[in-house]
Structure 1
Amino acid sequence: MKSTPSPKALVAVLALAGITVSLQQTFVIPLLPQLPRLLGASPSDTSWAITATLLAGAVSIPTIGRLADMWGKRRMLLVCLVVLTAGSVVAALSTSLAWLVVGRAMQGLGAAVVSLGISLMRDQLPAPRLASATAVMSTSLGVGGSLGLPLSALLAQYANWRVLFWAAAGLAALAALLVLAVVPESKQRAGGRFDAVGAVLLAGALVCLLLAISKGVSWGWGSPVTAGLFVAAAVLLAAFGWWELRTRQPLIDLRVSRRPQVLLTNTASVVFGYAMLTSSLVFTQLLQLPAITEYGFGEPILVAGLLQAPGGLCMVATSPLSARITVASGPRTTLMVGALVVATGYTSAALFHSQIWHLLLSTSVVGAGIGLAYGAMPSLIMSAVPVTQTAAANSLNNLCRALGTSTASAMAGLLLATMTTMVGELTVPSETAFVTILVIGAAAALIALIVACFIPRRTATEQPVSAPTASQRSELHTGTR
């Protein structure tokens, strides 16, 4: 058994693992315009390099969360990092679109790393350090996403495109080695049997739902395929709920998940996930639009990506503040403050976007709000669920955020494709389209604020989140619930 690690080292290693996973989600974006030429495929087919990662991540997050509670969080964290490394190698060596999609799907299987890291922190860290540690881990998802675009654009511009995936493989392998060296295995185990039926039903529902959302713009929202996928998702989700309420050892304990604090936090996470992605979708495109439009800036993708970095840095800067507010007033207050800050950032951008510094200021404000809110969500979840369900509950919360970001991508794609204007011989998204997306982002943040208002307040008798006692550990090892 490993000796107790330094809390700083533990947090640093787990945060690095989280950043590694979030980086691979944006690494491929600068390559998308080049992939049809590089791999001899159509643009619609190469979009599967994004869709495959999204679908694999959605399927793996709840499944790996439950397995982590049963078999060990560190063990499943290592599995995720190893698969991520292997997927990056497959993508780097790919000579066809099919192999690239396989590699990207394997990368997507690492999406559960952030929720597993937060769960390990709950088991390993003393209660006074937990709020700040989970804030850092939560914001790693946004930090990696903000920094991934400029880094990948830089590598894509000055090196072979395969270097992107070799870099991802090296970083994932390094994270895995550091986890082996620093992070001990958790003593908390739920035991029991894996709910294979529930996993299949939920995986099927998520694949149908996310496939319809991500491909709805290109297939047509009213097409039989899109409509059929939405219907199938609804039927499978209903079957999943029916099964989970009747099986003794469910994949997701819906009785716990419907507790007001958990249910409302997950609802706010969906809306907040929507709000988070809006800045990247809008600001990056505005910066790259030709200056002749009078609202674009004509910057290359490298510059546009670099201008997203301040948002990620603000996430890092506000994570300690998020922890302090959580300790002083509770995570509910932190979530509300974060939502209000995000709404302010998007409102500012909708009103003022004629100068680059306007966009820099707005993306920084939005990043600060996301840093505040993302640090609060795990605290709200973990204070409302048993220690034997920590990984599964955090994974469900992570999945809710992913559903929100997927919906934001689809909505933005629809608006940018339908609200267009002619500039010379070019058809480009209109300024109204960008303003509409920003207003919707602000509205989403305000909806998250309203939802957070109904989350139960922290009471004087509420116990801080901490590791279980020795007697509780003994009960955990019996494998019963």
Structure 2
Amino acid sequence: MSTSPPPASRPARTPGEGEGAAPVRDRWSRRELLTLAALVWPGQLLVVAGIMAANAQPQIAQHFHTTQIAWFGLTFTLVTLLAMPFAVRLGDVHGKRRVMLILAAAGLLGDVVTVLAPDYAVMLAGRAIGGLYGPVAALVLATIRDVFPPRRVAVALGTVAGSVGLLSLLAPLMSGWLLDAFGWQGALWFLVGSTVLAILALLAVPETPRRAPSGRFDWAGAVLLGGGMALLVFGIGQGRDWGWTSAGVLGSIIGGTVVLAAFALVELRVADPVLDLRMLRRRAVASVLCGSAVPQAAYFASASILIFLALYPRIPHVSDGLGWSVTRNAVVGIPAGLITFMAGVAVGHAVRKISPRAVWYASLAVLAAGMVLAGLYHRDVTEIIATGLVMGLGGGMLMAAQQAMIVSAVGPEEQAVANGMSALLTQVALALSGQILYAVLAADSTSFKGTAFYHDRAFTNAYFTMAGIVALGLLISFAIPRLRRPTEAASGPAGDIRTA
């Protein structure tokens, strides 16, 4: 069955695109700009929510007198992993906009339950419901390919991916003010309003073509995939606290691996799999997804280093933190956030003429160099701004180039599946990278009044370790074949890839 979109859903050809048409200046239409603006906030809300939630956790733990605050973030992640395969498949069957609106509405309900929770157990239930919003980020990226003409796809992806830089500098400022003025409830009410804004923005996005038949849904595959990934991430996430040899951790990791193996066997036998693993037989798809998950995880995990470094106090022989406020740390991070955004937009333009693989290699080299420099120079404002600019440049290039590679590696009908796979792999890599990071920090720490404080060498080694993980991602990425430019891939058939 053909999965091409119906003629009415194809972007209209503008002057200059047809053969023999007179060349005209390539301008974005008002509708295209509105759609792009509408996709930025829903696609990056998870970044804002993550920053708000992370900064609110200490107050929440004290308010509810709980030692299980790690579940505040882990519950959200586990539900997101469970929901991802369902969301990807249903988006292809019923339209991505419709599915995103339903998920966002569920997320809003979860946000309200979380902020009004009378006890910590109810709060975790709210976080679980809120986790249903998680797959929206992957669906937003897949939507871009469906609603923009081929010549716009790379720039649109770069803009949405790079916008994380702007939000990463604004969210900490807002977070610091809300927490200082209104406590954790103020921060969580802000998330409620943010989800409402995301729903309103999605209403301005056109519906996407239905790229899959509405036949029998692969419930077995979806449950096995979501359950296996959730078990695996849960085991990795609890490894540091429970011990890597504990029965709970080993049982979760082994159980998750067995369930994922069963998922692979099921998916290779069903007619309409929830995730088509046959895609991974293609060198371009497998190498892009695996090669990009590892360095992305290191980049996101490395943000925790600066939080500990900046916000922890300076106590002789106990803690080598800088003792900054949340607001000061956010202000210092403004230059890095700006360059992250600008790098993402620039890459979106560059990959129209340059191979996304070449940009990807450059982004990993810049990011690794920035992390090494941060490990050596992180003791005052000037050093942190300077090294932050290098890491921000590498991070913005990385996120935009990764999306350009996915567009180049798969056809339009596979975009949502590829983004879903990418999100799942990145979550697993992030969980593992985070555990490695905390282990490295703990190796050079001192416990004082029940809290672990970190020495300067811990921060240095943590940055070096994350740089090593980025370098590992670069080695894996050498398997990526030569890719077409996104403008060519967006209008060509799936799998039309010229390998080196």
- The reply on whether 1:78 has 2:101 as its aligned counterpart is yes
Deviation at 1:140, TM superposition (A): 4.0
CA 1:96–1:467 in structure 2 vs 1: closer, same or farther (change >3 Å)?
farther
Contact 2:405 2:486 (8 Å CA) reproduced: no
- The reply on whether 1:184 has 2:206 as its aligned counterpart is yes
Please point out which of 238, 248, 268 is paired with 1:215: 238
CA 1:462–1:308 in structure 2 vs 1: closer, same or farther (change >3 Å)?
closer
Deviation at 1:345, TM superposition (A): 0.6
Deviation at 1:385, TM superposition (A): 2.4
Please give the per-residue CA displacement for 1:138-173, whole angstroms capped at 9, x wherever unaligned. 234565455433322221111142222221111211
AA aligned opposite 1:176:
I
- The reply on whether 1:401 has 2:423 as its aligned counterpart is no
Give me the whole-angstrom Cα distance separating, in 2, the residues matched to 1:433 and 1:101.
32
SS at match of 1:28: helix
Please point out which of 426, 449, 454 is paired with 1:429: 454
Please give the per-residue CA displacement for 1:302-341, whole angstroms capped at 9, x wherever unaligned. 3234434433322211112111331121211121111111
- The reply on whether 1:127 has 2:158 as its aligned counterpart is no
Please point out which of 465, 469, 481 is paired with 1:440: 465
In structure 1, what is the equivalent of residue 328 of structure 2? 303
CA 1:157–1:300 in structure 2 vs 1: closer, same or farther (change >3 Å)?
same
In structure 2, what is the equivalent of residue 335 of structure 1? 360
- The reply on whether 1:314 has 2:343 as its aligned counterpart is no
In structure 1, what is the equivalent of residue 270 of structure 2? 247
Deviation at 1:55, TM superposition (A): 0.9
Contact 1:269 1:400 (8 Å CA) reproduced: no
AA aligned opposite 1:171:
S
Please point out which of 352, 356, 359 is paired with 2:377: 352
| Structure 2, unpaired ranges of 5+ | 1-7, 13-29, 494-500
Please give the per-residue CA displacement for 1:54-91, whole angstroms capped at 9, x wherever unaligned. 11122222321121111111111111211121111111
Please give the per-residue CA displacement for 1:185-243, whole angstroms capped at 9, x wherever unaligned. 11232113221101111111111111111111111111111111111011111111111
In structure 2, what is the equivalent of residue 29 of structure 1? 54
CA 1:461–1:327 in structure 2 vs 1: closer, same or farther (change >3 Å)?
closer
Q: Which moved more, 1:376-385 or 1:143-152?
A: 143-152
Contact 2:92 2:210 (8 Å CA) reproduced: yes
In structure 2, what is the equivalent of residue 274 of structure 1? 297
Deviation at 1:393, TM superposition (A): 1.4
Contact 2:352 2:485 (8 Å CA) reproduced: no
Give me the whole-angstrom Cα distance separating, in 1, the residues matched to 2:353 and 2:449.
57
AA aligned opposite 1:220:
G
Contact 2:235 2:252 (8 Å CA) reproduced: yes
CA 1:426–1:84 in structure 2 vs 1: closer, same or farther (change >3 Å)?
closer
- The reply on whether 1:285 has 2:291 as its aligned counterpart is no
**TM-score after normalising by structure 1:** 0.90
CA 1:445–1:325 in structure 2 vs 1: closer, same or farther (change >3 Å)?
farther
SS at match of 2:58: coil
- The reply on whether 1:42 has 2:81 as its aligned counterpart is no
Contact 1:150 1:305 (8 Å CA) reproduced: yes
SS at match of 1:428: strand
Please point out which of 454, 464, 478 is paired with 1:453: 478
Q: CA RMSD in A?
A: 2.6
Percent of pairs with identical residues? 28
Please point out which of 187, 198, 212 is paired with 1:164: 187
Give me the whole-angstrom Cα distance separating, in 2, the residues matched to 1:42 and 1:392.
38
CA 1:462–1:422 in structure 2 vs 1: closer, same or farther (change >3 Å)?
closer
Q: Which moved more, 1:286-295 or 1:410-419?
A: 286-295
AA aligned opposite 1:50:
G
CA 1:311–1:107 in structure 2 vs 1: closer, same or farther (change >3 Å)?
farther
In the comparison of the two structures, how many residue pairs are matched? 466
Contact 2:408 2:484 (8 Å CA) reproduced: no
Deviation at 1:48, TM superposition (A): 1.0
| Structure 1, unpaired ranges of 5+ | 469-481
Contact 2:94 2:210 (8 Å CA) reproduced: no
Give me the whole-angstrom Cα distance separating, in 2, the residues matched to 1:310 and 1:435.
22
AA aligned opposite 1:326:
V
Give me the whole-angstrom Cα distance separating, in 2, the residues matched to 1:134 and 1:113.
15
CA 1:467–1:229 in structure 2 vs 1: closer, same or farther (change >3 Å)?
same
Give me the whole-angstrom Cα distance separating, in 1, the residues matched to 2:183 and 2:79.
26
CA 1:224–1:251 in structure 2 vs 1: closer, same or farther (change >3 Å)?
same
SS at match of 1:27: helix
CA 1:55–1:139 in structure 2 vs 1: closer, same or farther (change >3 Å)?
farther
CA 1:141–1:106 in structure 2 vs 1: closer, same or farther (change >3 Å)?
farther
Contact 1:64 1:76 (8 Å CA) reproduced: yes
Deviation at 1:427, TM superposition (A): 5.4
Contact 1:292 1:423 (8 Å CA) reproduced: no
